[in-house]
Amino acid sequence: MSFEPLGLIEPLLRTLEALDYREPTPVQKQAIPAVLKGRDVLAAAQTGTGKTAGFALPLLQKLTMEGSQVAANSVRALVLVPTRELAEQVAQAVQQYAQNLPLRTYSVYGGVSINPQMMKLRKGIDLLVATPGRLLDLYRQNAVRFDQLQALVLDEADRMLDLGFAKELDELFSALPRKRQTLLFSATFSDAIRLMAKELLRDPLSIEVSPRNAAAKSVKQWLVTVDKKRKSELLLHLYRERGWDQLLVFAKTRKGVDELEQLLLAEGIAADSIHGDKPQPSRLRALQRFKAGEVRVLAATDVAARGLDISELPRVVNLDLPIVAEDYVHRIGRTGRAGATGEAVSLVCADEVELLAAIETLIGQIIRREDEPGFVPDHRVPQTAPGGAVLKKPKKPKVKVIPGAGKGKIHMGNWFEADDDKPKAKAVRAVPKFGEKPKPTKKR
């Protein structure tokens, strides 16, 4: 099936042909006609399945066909995203799709000067991609208005809540016109997001082209257990011994990312990093170098778990497991995109077993384990079971204190499977019932 039966206009079809988009993905087949008809949409699809085109193509067509002139400082369609990287990625995709259309598109986000963004908005923007914090700053300074807003898209809204944008979102929603088309596109939907959808969407078309919170089947997943202090050493070992090439490595903290980058550089491996403390130009430069092949290993925090679209990235490594299980799905979704295959490797230590169990519960499968010779951990990682349960060793029975039994402790003896297993010795003194004072023992 081509894109033509979906009802897209000729300029968009010409652009898609130039981009070598042969046929629509499942989410695009359902979303594009619905958005063109003006319906609200709640869509869940794995990352890398074409969600951006699913909402951008029909919105660009509607803006073009309506032909309204956008007023100064006004916006006709708004796409909210959680991170700067995702804002850049979505904006670039939108610009590609709109190259043959008479529309102005733009993106705004923090980490860069606000003044150029305010200047750009003065002319009015047909479709604006924005992060909540920066958009709210612009709104408070009267640099952007929503009088002409016709459509709102929330892309990866669950991540916005994870990052603490709930208050900003509430303030923005109150500033938007009530009469509008609203679309929610995400790889995962938390219960909080579903509650938000009930409040924001009107009779939405629900699209679910993959199991909720599922990991892409095109990604081969496995893990290596290792002691925490040897994780970086194991990463270097695997990189060299297995002949790994381009590699995206996720660490839990900014400090961990910086330390890993310095270690890789000291070992003669071309590396760079992305995290929240780095200025946006530095983050963009690191990503561009990685895409161009100048950097072999890119270390990152979860700020890069969504929004990095790197074609044919062969492998993602979790140096640390994420705190939020859903972020695992997004991390490994950086590989195995657009029909390609990929590999996701996690280095797991004993104190991460609860995080591992939560991830396995979310994705509905037990991740295959491998031991690497020379790195078998001293602190073994407990086994997990279907459903993400942690199989713990049975605890030893504790010594109990019986109330009213006087000072000291009375040993309750060992546990036996049957009465016949009990020793035939008599008690030295009677054990009092609960609340009963102990009887004095006779002196011999």
Fold exhibited by the domain 4-208: Rossmann fold (3.40.50)
Distance separating alpha carbons of residues 10 and 29, to the nearest angstrom: 17
Distance separating alpha carbons of residues 97 and 12, to the nearest angstrom: 7
Domain with CATH 3.40.50.300 in the chain: 4-208, 219-390
Beta bridge partners, 273, equal: 299
**Category of 312 on φ-ψ map: left (φ > 0), alpha (ψ -120 to 50) or beta:** left
Distance separating alpha carbons of residues 3 and 11, to the nearest angstrom: 12
Q: Outline where 98-216 has alpha helix (H).
A: 115-121, 132-140, 157-162, 166-175, 191-200
pLDDT value, residue 279 = 83
Residues 359/391, Cβ–Cβ less than 8 Å: no
Residue 185 φ then ψ, to 5°: -120, 130
The alpha carbon of residue 189 and the mean position of all alpha carbons in its chain are separated, in whole angstroms, by 11
- 219-390 — its CATH code? 3.40.50.300
Question: Hey, what are 14's tokens?
Answer: 């010409």
For residue 157, give the nearest of 208, 120, 194, 102 by alpha carbon. Answer: 194
**Residues of the chain under the 50 pLDDT cut:** 393-397, 399-402, 405-429, 431, 434, 444
Using the Cα atoms of residue 351, residue 355, residue 358 and residue 359 in order, give the sign of their dihedral: negative
Look up residue 51 and give its amino acid: K
Q: What is the pLDDT of residues 240-258, one digit of tens each?
A: 999 998 899 999 999 999 9
Q: Round the CA-based radius of gyration of the chain to a whole number and report it.
A: 29
pLDDT value, residue 163 = 67
**Other CB atoms within 10 A of residue 15 CB:** 19
pLDDT value, residue 149 = 97
Q: What is the pLDDT of residues 90-120, one digit of tens each?
A: 999 999 999 999 999 999 999 889 999 999 9
Q: What is the pLDDT of residues 173-211, one digit of tens each?
A: 999 999 999 998 776 677 777 888 888 999 999 988 755
Q: Is the pTM of the predicted complex or chain greater than 0.75?
A: no
pLDDT value, residue 284 = 83
Distance separating alpha carbons of residues 237 and 221, to the nearest angstrom: 19
